[in-house]
């Protein structure tokens, strides 16, 4: 299928929109709001959609916005998603558009995601006579905080009335130079669960260990034992990682055995069946290891986002269209990531494709990773991200005559 004229029309529209996209992104960047607190962000997005004549509803999962663009030809419904929340990070950049909210920053690029989806909406509205079917625009709150805005919006019916047959999303990627995008079929991002352990012993004098039940010693053995759930019980072909990031005791000194120790960690994998089995094994190891040394262990395991699976057929098609829109040399293969993303909830429901948008520029020093106080993007990515989303929506739903 050849889409040269449509591709060029979308490129022209995105280029014409560039200055407005920069203004939108900088406004959002200056006024970040934390997960499930995005009231003004949602209102801003709704005003933009209204100003362009795009029908929408508000109040999804708190402050989410959902728009709908109906084409003038029959066809399926495709969903496009962007997250809109920020992180509790203090921005240290000296840029004129840095955050005006102390301790809150768009350090994960959700301002870029929302801007690109607004830009795509504008382009799609202008091309609606060429659109077959409809496009649902999902501006989602709360990606950074469990249970995740995606799961809540799904429960509220965002994948119904009308029901999309597929969903697309994109995420900023500083290691990828601006102008490039990356795709991966199948397993892409991991599930993410939180592990909270309380190890109870019997405190006392460090010089009299025979009179104590040392929870620190038990905790040390627990860390080693639980790691073996992954290394000796898990299929080595399934990516898995278990990390403890925090250990704390009550009281403490060099000569004191504490009464309790708390551990916090994360378990991540790429297979939902193994994920459930590992949860059971972790619980068994915790109980048996603590009891073996006379202590007790309480486990609280918080299930987070599931693994993100990119539908192979949809992703192949989306990648092919990206190569057509940007050029084959601008589209790269992505490795799997053990980070998590609540877009995964959508991928568990309908065919999904989640790609990476290059935002880095080494020559300009734009290299800071996401979730850091110096994160920024090359704003040329706004034009590329908005145009690519619009082109994907038009061509996935469009059959040339």
The helix-helix angle for 272-292 and 215-228 (nearest 10°) equals 150
Residues in contact with 68: Cβ distance below 8 Å, sequence separation at least 6, in sequence order: 54, 55, 56, 134, 135, 136, 137, 162
Tokens of 170: 């994109």
Nearest-CA neighbor of 215 among 245, 244, 249, 266?
Answer: 249
Residue 22 in 3-state DSSP? helix
In the annotation, is 194 catalytic?
Answer: no
Burial 293-302 (b: 16+ CB within 10 A, else e): eebbbebebe
In the annotation, is 143 catalytic?
Answer: yes
Residues in contact with 8: Cβ distance below 8 Å, sequence separation at least 6, in sequence order: none
Distance CA 308, CA 337 (A): 10
Distance CA 168, CA 43 (A): 23
Residue of 143, 214, 383, 392 marked catalytic: 143
Q: Specify whether the CB–CB gap between 302 and 267 falls below 8 A.
A: no
Distance CA 130, CA 393 (A): 11
**What pairing do the DSSP bridges indicate for beta strands 256-257 and 204-205?**
antiparallel
Distance CA 323, CA 102 (A): 41
Q: Count Cβ atoms within 10 A of the Cβ of residue 80 and give its class: 0-12 exposed, 13-18 middle, 19 or more buried.
A: buried
Residue of 83, 85, 214, 376 marked catalytic: 85
Burial 184-201 (b: 16+ CB within 10 A, else e): bbebbbbbbbebebbbeb
Distances (CA, A) of 156 to 56, 150, 160, 185: 15, 10, 9, 28
Q: How many residues does the chain have?
A: 401
Distance CA 34, CA 353 (A): 26
Distance CA 119, CA 96 (A): 23
Instruction: Show which residues are catalytic.
Output: 85, 143
């Amino acid at each position: 299928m050849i889409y040269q004229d449509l591709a060029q029309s979308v490129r022209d529209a995105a280029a014409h929109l560039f200055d407005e996209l920069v203004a939108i992104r900088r406004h959002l960047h200056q006024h970040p709001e934390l997960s499930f607190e995005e009231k003004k962000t949602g209102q801003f997005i709704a005003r933009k959609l209204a100003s362009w004549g795009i029908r929408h509803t508000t109040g999804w999962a708190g402050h989410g916005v959902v728009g709908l663009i109906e084409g003038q030809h029959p066809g399926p419904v495709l969903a496009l998603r962007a997250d809109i929340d920020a992180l509790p990070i203090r921005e240290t950049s000296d840029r004129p558009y840095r955050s005006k909210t102390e301790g809150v920053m768009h350090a994960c690029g959700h301002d870029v995601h929302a801007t690109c989806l607004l830009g795509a909406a504008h382009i799609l509205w202008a091309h609606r006579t060429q659109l077959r079917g409809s496009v649902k625009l999902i501006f989602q709150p709360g990606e950074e905080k469990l249970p995740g805005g995606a799961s809540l919006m799904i429960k509220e019916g965002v994948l119904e009335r009308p029901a999309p047959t597929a969903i697309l999303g994109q995420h900023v990627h500083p290691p990828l130079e601006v102008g490039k995008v990356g795709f991966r079929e199948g397993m892409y991002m991991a599930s993410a669960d939180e592990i909270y352990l309380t190890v109870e012993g019997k405190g006392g004098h460090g010089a009299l260990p025979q009179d104590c039940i040392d929870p620190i010693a038990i905790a040390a053995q627990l860390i080693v034992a639980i790691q073996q759930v992954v290394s000796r019980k898990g299929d080595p072909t399934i990516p898995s990682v278990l990390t403890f990031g925090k250990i704390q005791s009550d009281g403490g000194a060099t000569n004191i055995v504490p009464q309790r120790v708390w551990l916090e960690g994360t378990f991540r994998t790429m297979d939902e069946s193994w994920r459930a089995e590992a949860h059971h094994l972790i619980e068994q190891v915790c109980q048996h290891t603590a009891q073996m040394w006379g202590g007790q262990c309480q486990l609280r395991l918080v299930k987070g986002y599931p693994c993100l699976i990119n539908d192979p057929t949809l992703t192949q098609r989306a990648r092919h269209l990206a190569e057509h829109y940007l050029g084959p040399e601008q589209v790269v293969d992505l490795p799997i990531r053990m980070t998590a993303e609540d877009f995964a909830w959508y991928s568990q429901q309908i065919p999904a494709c989640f790609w990476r948008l290059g935002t880095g520029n080494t020559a300009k020093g734009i290299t800071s990773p996401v979730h850091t106080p110096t994160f920024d993007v090359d704003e040329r990515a706004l034009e590329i991200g908005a145009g690519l989303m619009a082109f994907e929506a038009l061509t996935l739903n469009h059959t040339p005559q």
